[in-house]
Amino acid sequence: MIRLTNIQLPLDHNDNALERVILSTLDIKSDQLVSFSIFRRGYDARKKARILLTYTLDIEALNEQELLARFANNSQIKATPDLEYHPVTQAPATLTDRPIIIGFGPCGLLAGLLLAQMGYKPIILERGKEVRERTKDTFGFWRKKILNTESNVQFGEGGAGTFSDGKLYSQVKDPKQYSRKVLNEFVAAGAPDEILFVSKPHIGTFKLVAMVEKMRAQIVELGGEIRFSARVDDLHIENNQVTGVTLADGERLDSRHIALAIGHSARDTFEMLHAKGVYIEAKPFSIGFRIEHEQSAIDKARFGPNAGNEILGAADYKLVHHCKNGRSVYSFCMCPGGTVVAATSEENRVVTNGMSQYSRNERNANSAVVVGINPSDYPGGPLAGIELQRQLESHAFVMGGSNYDAPAQTVGAFLRNETPEALGSVVPSFKPGIKLTNLADALPDFCIEAIREAIPAFNKKIKGFAFEDALLTGVETRTSAPISIKRDQSLQSINTKGLYPAGEGAGYAGGIMSAAIDGIKIAEAMALSINQE
């Protein structure tokens, strides 16, 4: 197959345009073209009145080798890379050590699925509940303020991204095309086919719930085992080799191959690992607020007269500003047509995040506006970043009225350092509710200063970003793990053999796709190591 990249066509091009452009680019007649498919479709919206669709196409043609030789110097025309996933090994006929995976988020899910597909019959331990029960608990918290600390937005089947926008792209290097394997598995589990070709695929909350169930069923069918409400409270280590785990109910399970795919909110587990001597370092992360605008305003700012176009969908944005005080402020986890959600897993704390449905047709756009901070901002050892997160989340709880409502402020009032008297035209989407206040107190001064500088700067890129009535809700503290559980080239902990720190919680991923890719890498490393023993 031949891959054509960077093919641009007008937004309203007709059905035959793709074929015509293939024939002219390759300088062939239509009877030489066997078939073609869209590998990727994105858009270039730099000129709002003339938005272009940008395609990557895979083409089957007669005499492909001759064409590739003819265009050898054309960087737009290359052989299509092999996108097939090839398992690195298979389980031996008699399996002496069943691998354990702690955590059933995207990282644990893909690690478990791959190990099951290779015949290793993994045991997956998840502290939260299965996804339908978890959905009830999570919506219960949003509607009735009843928090279940083991079953919520962060904990339970599917992990942190289950109630999310379900963005499925990442910026990690992926030379082995693992992301394709992840997308293929998601489509097999019921995700829409378009995630295979749109440049920024997303699936939204409810589709994710159904997909996770199907993937779980496949793992079980292949001999894997998934235990819910099975929190790992202890790790057994003998002579720097991991030997097993103990669950909260006291049961002990033995294994010399244990993946730690626990996400960024398992603070009690981080503490346990630190106490056990597993090597952990503090790492930079980011803190800030969620900002909400009306989606129609963002569509207009990004797409001008093409706002509302069906192919473009609800507009997103990605912004960064380097401040005079040396800090960087950036937009994070932008959710077009979505809602701001309460994302705490601990009592008496308030944390924001964002989610949407596949349709992305809620009234508001939201994103986190966050400031990068690093361990020199929170000295005090590997777990000091967690302590800072806890302080900020507890303070936000109090600022919101000590009842799980979140503190919020209009952007105009924030920029003038005033408490707003009333909401404007932007209706808050945060459930259970918000309390208007002055957020200047919610974060360290240097962060407030940086965000006050960044919002007007963002307004130059997205007109209306600094709109008086836009709304800030706080606090956004769980952008990534504040720690890193270091691993070596074999993907094992640098001081605990057989322990595979993985995904977002260990500092090796930042989103659904990168966590899932890390899950595949971990599964391969574990499988190869088991075979060597």
Q: How far is the CB of 154 from ligand FAD (least distance, A)?
A: 6
476 near ligand FAD, judged by CB under 6 A = no
Binding string, residues 52-91; x marks residues near ligand FAD by CB under 6 A: ----------------------------------------
H/E/C letters for each residue in 93-120? CCCCCCCEEECCCHHHHHHHHHHHHCCC
Of 515, 526, 527, 530, the one binding ligand FAD (CB under 6 A) is: 515
451, containing H or E segment: helix 445-461
2 near ligand FAD, judged by CB under 6 A = no
Q: How far is the CB of 155 from ligand FAD (least distance, A)?
A: 3
Dihedral, 157, 132, 480, 408 alpha carbons, nearest 10:
-160
Neighbours of 47 (CB within 10 A): 9
122 near ligand FAD, judged by CB under 6 A = no
Of 117, 135, 164, 429, the one binding ligand FAD (CB under 6 A) is: 164
Q: How far is the CB of 268 from ligand FAD (least distance, A)?
A: 7
Would you say 22 or 114 has its CB closer to ligand FAD? 114
Nearest to 219 by CA among 120, 135, 316: 120
Would you say 142 or 155 has its CB closer to ligand FAD? 155
512 near ligand FAD, judged by CB under 6 A = yes
Q: How far is the CB of 444 from ligand FAD (least distance, A)?
A: 23
Task: Select the span of 51-59, 398-406, 411-419, 508-516 touching ligand FAD (CB under 6 A).
Answer: 508-516
Of 128, 336, 382, 501, the one binding ligand FAD (CB under 6 A) is: 128
Q: What is the DSSP letter of 155?
A: S
Q: How far is the CB of 517 from ligand FAD (least distance, A)?
A: 11
> 492 with 526: CB under 8 angstroms?
no
366 near ligand FAD, judged by CB under 6 A = no
The length of the chain is 533
- Using CA of residue 47, residue 50, residue 51, residue 54, what is the dihedral sign? negative
Cα separations in angstroms, 503 against 57, 255, 500, 521: 32, 20, 10, 10
278 near ligand FAD, judged by CB under 6 A = no
How many chain residues interact with ligand FAD (CB under 6 A)?
A: 44
Q: How far is the CB of 83 from ligand FAD (least distance, A)?
A: 21
165 near ligand FAD, judged by CB under 6 A = yes
Of 106, 244, 375, 420, the one binding ligand FAD (CB under 6 A) is: 106
List phi, psi (to 5°) of 319: -130, 150
Q: Is 384 exposed, middle or buried (0-12, 13-18, 19+ CB in 10 A)?
A: middle
Q: What is the DSSP letter of 53?
A: E
Q: How far is the CB of 43 from ligand FAD (least distance, A)?
A: 19
> 3 with 78: CB under 8 angstroms?
yes
269 near ligand FAD, judged by CB under 6 A = yes
Would you say 343 or 526 has its CB closer to ligand FAD? 343
Binding string, residues 393-432; x marks residues near ligand FAD by CB under 6 A: ----------------------------------------
Nearest to 36 by CA among 53, 9, 10, 16: 16
Determine the distance from the C-alpha atom of residue 243 to the mean position of all C-alpha atoms in its chain, rounded to a whole number: 31
Q: In terms of DSSP bridges, do strands 483-485 and 280-282 run parallel, antiparallel, or are they unpaired?
A: antiparallel
Nearest to 250 by CA among 234, 262, 238: 234
Of 43, 141, 155, 197, the one binding ligand FAD (CB under 6 A) is: 155
Q: How far is the CB of 339 from ligand FAD (least distance, A)?
A: 10
C-alpha 100/C-alpha 227 separation (Å) is 11
> 150 with 233: CB under 8 angstroms?
no
Burial 357-373 (b: 16+ CB within 10 A, else e): bbebebebbbbbbbbbb
127 near ligand FAD, judged by CB under 6 A = yes
Cα separations in angstroms, 444 against 122, 134, 486: 44, 34, 28
β-bridge partners, 485: 280
Q: How far is the CB of 272 from ligand FAD (least distance, A)?
A: 8
Q: How far is the CB of 513 from ligand FAD (least distance, A)?
A: 6
Which pair of tokens denotes residue 468? Answer: 């008086």
313 near ligand FAD, judged by CB under 6 A = no
Tokens 């920029």 label which residue? 415
Tell me the three state secondary structure of residue 196: helix
166 near ligand FAD, judged by CB under 6 A = yes
Would you say 230 or 447 has its CB closer to ligand FAD? 230
341 near ligand FAD, judged by CB under 6 A = yes
Would you say 316 or 469 has its CB closer to ligand FAD? 316
What is the contact surface with ligand FAD in residues (CB under 6 A)? 102-108, 125-128, 153, 155-156, 159-161, 163-167, 231-232, 261-263, 266, 269, 333, 341, 343, 353-355, 503-505, 509-513, 515
